[in-house]
Amino acid sequence: MAHEILPASKLSATAVSSPNENEHSFPSARRRSFLKGLGVVGAALSTSSLLTTISEAQSPKDIITVGDVAILRFLAAAEILETDLWQQYNEFGGIQDSEVPGGSGSPLYIKALEVLDGDMPQYIHDNTEDEMTHEVFINAYLESRGAEPVSLEAFRNLPSSQATGAQQIGRLTNLMQLSVDTTWYTRYRSRTLNPDLGDTLPQAIPSIAMGQHPAIPRTDDDVQPDPSKPHHISDLTQAIANTAGFHFATIEQGGSSLYPMLAQRVTSLEVLRIVLSIGGTEICHFQTWHDKAGNAPPLSVVDPVTGLTVTFPDLNSSPLGGEDFQTNLIMPEPTAFLSRKLPACSIIRPTATKGAAMGALKALTADGLFIGQSKDFFKFMRTLAIEADLALRQ
């Protein structure tokens, strides 16, 4: 089996060792046919990489499977997308400095974010910086193991916001037409329901889950002062900041689930360490944003651009209120895990591993994050997701 072309079903049993190990022990003709046999997955491997089967690796520490590479490549792409969206939030609402350069801030948008928490600009800055390091680290690790890093630069074609504060550069993500899935809010409060057991959870803020809404100012019209309101923050500006406040948590709860989902199919202990360690910071982010989202002030306003009414209810009052909506229940309520016959447990959910990468891509797409992106972008992302979802733990 060792040096033959592997069928697709065996791709995950293929190991990649570092380029300088066993460099001359793999006949080039065989290696070429091996790469050809790898098909689309093979494209992820640089020409300097050396392929062996697990049985040929020097020690278990050397092993990184094609499945591991596929998982890391999907995660690298996800982190690039996270960086791109967080960068846009930082340009308007964060702190622009040498750690996270770019943009010049939007004073009334920042004031509206600070209604949720006075430290919002710092948190936005830090979340942005974290994503930049995730992206850079995973790509650098892939290269260090002889695998191809991921670049989405070819797809940086979406327009920037026209509002003062943004850089005018090509973007990968669109924060101006979001349909924000807010089911995480009720999911983490329910004591009985878990999507992994087939349950569906209600939206906390149905009005931003339907239609297309901005989470950053689209133009300066979105951040006009209203002298009749505290701090001159108009209801429209506050609605945009509230939408951002919920979207922050929507993004980060996605990462909180995606990493444990994919970790279950990693083979290399070192790759598992990477996935667990980065995944943990996604949970830190989610916990922070979960706390802030509940501070979004109740309001109802018609967006003059979309014509849609945006409503943020008082989550602590009737007919909401109670455990599924109470705003200070920011820690994961214990719920059913693995089986309803087992005791309830406080957990990240969902964490079922099947179709994890494609599920994440579909969720981000459904949120409207990629409105305006090209067919080639979706094709590239789908390929990465399919490859990651084919990975099997060896």
Give me the residues that bind Fe ion (CB under 5 A), please.
79, 82, 131, 134, 252, 255, 282
Rounded to whole angstroms, the Cα distance separating 271 from 350 reads 21
Q: Which is nearer to Fe ion, 52 or 174 (CB)?
A: 174
Burial class (CB in 10 A: 0-12, 13-18, 19+), 293: buried
Q: Which is nearer to Fe ion, 62 or 131 (CB)?
A: 131
Residues paired with 65 in a beta bridge: 15
Please, are residues 295 and 119 in contact by the beta-carbon 8 Å criterion? no
Q: Which is nearer to Fe ion, 131 or 303 (CB)?
A: 131
Q: Which is nearer to Fe ion, 79 or 222 (CB)?
A: 79
Q: How far is the CB of 281 from Fe ion (least distance, A)?
A: 7
Q: Which is nearer to Fe ion, 135 or 222 (CB)?
A: 135
Q: How far is the CB of 134 from Fe ion (least distance, A)?
A: 4
Q: How far is the CB of 147 from Fe ion (least distance, A)?
A: 19
Q: Which is nearer to Fe ion, 252 or 389 (CB)?
A: 252
Name which of 210, 130, 218 is nearest 174 in CA terms.
218
Alpha-carbon separation of residue 268 from 57, 137, 229 (angstroms): 12, 17, 56
Q: Which is nearer to Fe ion, 282 or 389 (CB)?
A: 282
CA angle 6, 10, 16 (to 5 degrees): 80
Q: Which is nearer to Fe ion, 201 or 274 (CB)?
A: 274
Please, are residues 300 and 316 in contact by the beta-carbon 8 Å criterion? no
Residues paired with 339 in a beta bridge: 337
Burial class (CB in 10 A: 0-12, 13-18, 19+), 340: exposed
Q: How far is the CB of 256 from Fe ion (least distance, A)?
A: 8
Please, are residues 107 and 224 in contact by the beta-carbon 8 Å criterion? no
Name which of 149, 127, 129 is nearest 138 in CA terms.
149
Q: How far is the CB of 181 from Fe ion (least distance, A)?
A: 16
Placement of tokens 């392929």 in the chain: 51
Q: How far is the CB of 261 from Fe ion (least distance, A)?
A: 14
DSSP state of 87: H
* Residue, CB closest to Fe ion: 134
Q: How far is the CB of 70 from Fe ion (least distance, A)?
A: 18
Distance of CA 226 to the CA centre of its chain: 35
Rounded to whole angstroms, the Cα distance separating 336 from 201 reads 14
Q: How far is the CB of 121 from Fe ion (least distance, A)?
A: 17
